[in-house]
Amino acid sequence: MFKKIIFLLLVCLSFIPTALAHDFSTMNPTVKVTSYKKLFTDQVVAYGSGSGTVITADGIIITNHHVIFDDEEFKPLDAFEVCMTFADLEEPACDYTAHLIAKDKDLDIALLKLDSKDVFGNALPSLKNLDWNKATSPKEKDSVMIVGYPASGGETITTTKGQISGSETYNGYHYFKTDTDFDHGSSGGTAYDASGNFIGIPTYIRSYAENVGYFLDLNEARPWLGANIAKTPTDNVDANRLLTWELARLSRANDGLSFAQDKYPFLSVTLPKGWKFEEIADDGFYVSQKNLSNPVTLGVTTSFYQYSIDEGYMNKLNEELEKIKKTYPDYKKEEVKFAGTDAWKVTFTSYSNRNISYYIPRGFAMIGVATSFDLNELEKQEKTVQPVLDSLVFSQKAISDPKLDSTLRFTDPPFGITAASNWRIQKNPGKSPQDMLAEAVQKENFEGSFSIYYSSIPKDERNLSAKDRLKDKTKNMGQNKLLYKNDAVVLSGLEGFLYTYEYESDEYQKMKKHFILRVRNGDYEFTIEYDDLTDVFDKNLSDIRTMLDSFTFNGKTTKNTSLHEFGNLGFTFNDIQYHSYAAEISDLADKGIITGDKNGNFNPEAFATRLEALKLILESKNALEKDKNSGKAVDFSKYRTIKAPFRDVPAKNPYAPYARYALEKKMINSNRSFGAEKPVTLAETLKLIMNAYEIPVWKGETNPWFKKYMDKGFELNLIPYGMYDAGQKLTRAELAYLINKIYKKAGNEGGFYY
């Protein structure tokens, strides 16, 4: 898939610089807590943050349950960063990690235990703490002080004062209301009374005309604290190790104001005094300068490609950049040298900002450097950023080929997959998307990608069958055209579903196809997606099948008797690929109106018979009535009889009930012979459609007889372009087109024909 880096906006990231030595006698017992999720690609990402209170000298912290809990996976998060304030006017030091001791959702509290050493291996001393077991009796109109790290409070600790204005009960527990200002990020912090006693834990905010804050009465939490404070912390070793390493790396970089990547593309940077590293990741870093009244920032991100960045890649990048040019009149792209490498510099103005991005191709990586200047301080900010740009240096030579293995293997989750011969696959090198494990691409195919994801199944879907989940995913496709679906998929023993749809790309008149397969492993699932231009998609289906066949899962499965069962992927039938009416045929198959033969073929160019046309038209009308819950659906089995409805439709013919029904309803003439096996004509099909769907046509006689049916067909736009001969014998594909057209019109427009 084409990797591009277009920096339209820079998003500030909430990571805090650290120091190496601190005076713990000045430590504030209210700390900042950031919870992290461990990704399956062996990285950790910040999930949420709040505040906490140190309540023992050895570092036990009380905070809110919602601060440490993962609402997506419905379990505690994996690692916890703790930031301590040593001077109220300075940013806290984030050199500390913690483990979870206990949690209670109803009380909305949790206990963390600080690790005995900081991220550099230094032992923690005895910590200042608050007495959680001292009896207090807060009451209405008492003064209260809230301490924490609210999002609106900047990067330093925030203290606000007010009074207790009332109380309420939630989940059976007593909460105080207060007019004291606090917001998101204050959760889990500290509430003091006028005497400096620890009296509660800020938990909720209600926004009406103004904010009303709620803090849990500490008296409610004391029994639970007494029962849980001595418990042994749980330990996610891998997550804590990763977080410790990331925090130490960030702190060391800020201590020395320099950073050098130890992995490709080996980019290093040195910051002037007054700058800091906000975030450092394997695929880039983000820095800022806060001494100006209007701070300036700079971001560096690397996208890794499975092949060398070549002329084709750069041409595609240029196409994407041209889209920006259409939006911003002052857009400018120029060729420059950056860190000794050929690069593109792109500039444009958005609102009151001048945006500057550099695109630096280097071997198999594309490095993006982006900054944004306030037009009112343009000259000053440009001068501030230039030393940072000048310091960026590549310490090693460019590498053209990443030399990826054809087979990719994971231990958690335990699976493997092999790329098709003309594809390359690599593990997701970054943190976004968070649930993406790997991606495979073809050389020079900048539109297509084959991606593998692994994530928890949403809580409200865990009890649903694959059939019900598929129905929910495909019921509102909008402008997307559903081509194929299968609710009985098996991949390496894991069960699930898949569907394929076609949609219009953002480029004029270019259609794309998207394939999604989901197979379940307990409360988690693999999602495999392939997206590409329609013609390329169809040509690559054999490669996609090859890669799916190579998928192996080593964990416990629910259906080990079958290895792989995933159907046709792109189409309902084997023989409709590239057919002009493939989508219409698939639509009817999806509704159960048409079926294929035992070999999975539809035979689209075979002539449709009169009896077959009658059956399919009646079944389509029946399906519509069922969809509408109209109560008008017909049970055709009731029309089975030992008497043949026509000479050429024996009673044992499975289509006989449809002929009997049509005869009874006077949809067809009562001649002794129906001409059941004769090819049906366009005029005959239109007459059957008008009769079955009860579409009024003119009651008078026309010459020829079918003129009124043809006229109505053109009026309703049922007849495709180029089909004008009423006596034309219809193929099965053409019949499917007409039936699908009337089904959609009747379903979408209700009584359009009355």
The region of weakest confidence among 162-171, 557-566, 684-693 is 557-566
Q: What pLDDT digit, counting tens, does each position of 126-137 carry?
A: 999 999 988 788
pLDDT at 291 (0 to 100):
66
Mean pLDDT of 459-483: 90
Residue 205 in this model has a pLDDT that exceeds 80: no
Q: What pLDDT score does 92 carry?
A: 93
Q: Give the Cα separation of 16 and 155 in Å (integer).
A: 8
Looking at per-residue pLDDT, the higher value among 388 and 582 belongs to 388
pLDDT of residue 636: 92
The pLDDT of residue 747 is above 90: no
**Burial (CB count within 10 angstroms: exposed 0-12, middle 13-18, buried 19+), residue 117:** middle
- Residues 6+ positions from 635 with CB-CB distance below 8 Å: none
**CA 313 to chain CA mean position, Å:** 26
**Could you give the CA distance from residue 383 to residue 588 in angstroms, rounded to a whole number?**
65
Residue 273 pLDDT grade (very low, low, confident, very high; cuts 50, 70, 90) = very high
Predicted pLDDT of residue 578: 76
What string of DSSP letters covers 575-614? T-TT-TTHHHHHHHHHTTS----TTS---TTSBPBHHHHH
Please give the CATH number for the structural domain made up of 257-394. Answer: 3.40.1000.10
Beta bridge partners of 459: none
Neighbours of 160 (CB within 10 A): 18
Alpha-carbon torsion angle 414, 418, 424, 428, nearest 10: -10
The amino acid occupying position 207 is: S
Q: Say what the pLDDT of residue 170 is.
A: 84
Res. 695: pLDDT tops 50? yes
CA angle 408, 411, 415 (to 5 degrees): 55
pLDDT reported for residue 213: 83
| 10 vs 699, residue with greater confidence | 699
Q: Give CA–CA dist 6/370, Å, rounded.
A: 8
Q: Report the C-alpha gap between 613 and 681 in whole angstroms.
A: 10
| Residue 280 · residue 254 · CB < 8 Å | no
Residues 6 or more apart whose CB falls under 8 angstroms from that of 558 comprise: 493, 494, 495
Distance separating alpha carbons of residues 77 and 522, to the nearest angstrom: 19
Helix (H), strand (E), coil (C) string for 21-39: CCCHHHCCCEEEEEEEEEC
Rounded distance, CA 692 to CA 618, Å?
A: 6
pLDDT of residue 126: 94
Q: In sequence order, what DSSP letters do the residues of 431-460 get, joined into one string?
A: SSSTTEEEEEEETT--S-EEEEEEEEPPGG
- The Cα 180–Cα 200 span in angstroms is 13
494-534 residue pLDDT tens:
999 999 999 988 777 789 999 999 999 999 999 999 999 99
In this predicted structure, the answer to whether residue 422 has a pLDDT above a threshold of 70 is yes
Residue 121: pLDDT over 50: yes
For the chain, the domains span 17-251, 257-394, 407-565, 582-749
Cis peptide bond upstream of 433, omega within 30: yes
Residue 44 pLDDT > 80: yes
If DSSP codes are grouped into helix, strand and coil, which group holds residue 410?
strand
Instruction: Give the per-residue pLDDT at 63.
Output: 95
Q: Which CATH architecture has domain 407-565?
A: 3-Layer(aba) Sandwich (3.40)
- Dihedral of alpha carbons 430, 434, 437, 440, sign: negative
Q: Give the angle 461-466-472 at the CA atoms, nearest 5°.
A: 60
First CA to last CA across the chain, in angstroms? 50
Q: What percent of the chain has pLDDT over 90?
A: 64
650 to 121, 615, 619, 657: CA distances (angstroms): 88, 15, 20, 10
Cα separation of 507 and 483, whole Å? 21
pLDDT for 258 equals 96
**Beta-sheet strands, E only, within 325-460:** 332-338, 341-350, 353-362, 365-374, 393-394, 407-411, 414-418, 423-427, 436-442, 449-456
Question: What is the pTM (predicted TM-score) of this model?
Answer: 0.79
Measure the CA angle with vertex 284, ends 334 and 235; round to 5°: 165
- The 10s digit of each residue's pLDDT in 309-322 is 999 999 999 998 98
Lowest mean pLDDT of 81-95, 158-172, 551-565, name the range: 551-565
Please state, in angstroms and rounded to a whole number, the distance separating the CA atoms of residues 417 and 553: 9
Least confident among 36-40, 74-78, 542-546, 745-749: 745-749
User: Is residue 163 pLDDT above 70, yes or no?
Assistant: yes
Kindly tell me if the per-residue pLDDT of 95 is higher than 50.
yes
* SS3 label, residue 82: strand
Which pLDDT value is given to residue 153? Answer: 63
Check residue 752 and give its pLDDT: 45
Average pLDDT, the chain: 89
Asked whether this chain's domains 17-251 and 257-394 adopt the same fold, the reply is no
pLDDT of 751 > 60? The answer is no
| Contacts (Cβ under 8 Å, ≥6 apart) of 707 | none
The pLDDT tens digits of the residues spanning 631-681 come to: 999 999 999 888 888 999 999 999 999 999 999 998 888 778 899 999 999
> C-alpha dihedral over 79, 81, 82, 88, to 10 degrees?
-160
* Separation CA 573–CA 78 (nearest Å): 46
Domain 17-251, classified CATH 2.40.10.120, yes or no: yes
- Over 70: is that where the pLDDT of 54 sits? yes
Judge whether 664 and 621 are in contact, CB under 8 Å. no
Of 246, 337, 237, 273, the residue nearest 16 (C-alpha): 246
C-alpha to C-alpha distance for 589 and 346, rounded to whole angstroms: 50
Please state, in angstroms and rounded to a whole number, the distance separating the CA atoms of residues 46 and 431: 11
Using one digit for the tens of pLDDT, what is the confidence trace for 3-31? 544 333 333 333 333 444 788 989 999 99
- Find out whether 681 and 728 touch, Cβ atoms under 8 Å: yes
Q: Tokens at residue 240, please?
A: 């804590």
State the Cα–Cα distance between residues 609 and 593, nearest whole angstrom.
16
Torsion of CA 155, 256, 237, 407, to 10 degrees: 110
Residue 435 corresponds to which tokens in the numbers above? 């649930």
Q: What distance separates the 2 farthest-apart alpha carbons in the chain?
A: 105
Residue 390 has pLDDT above 70, yes or no: yes
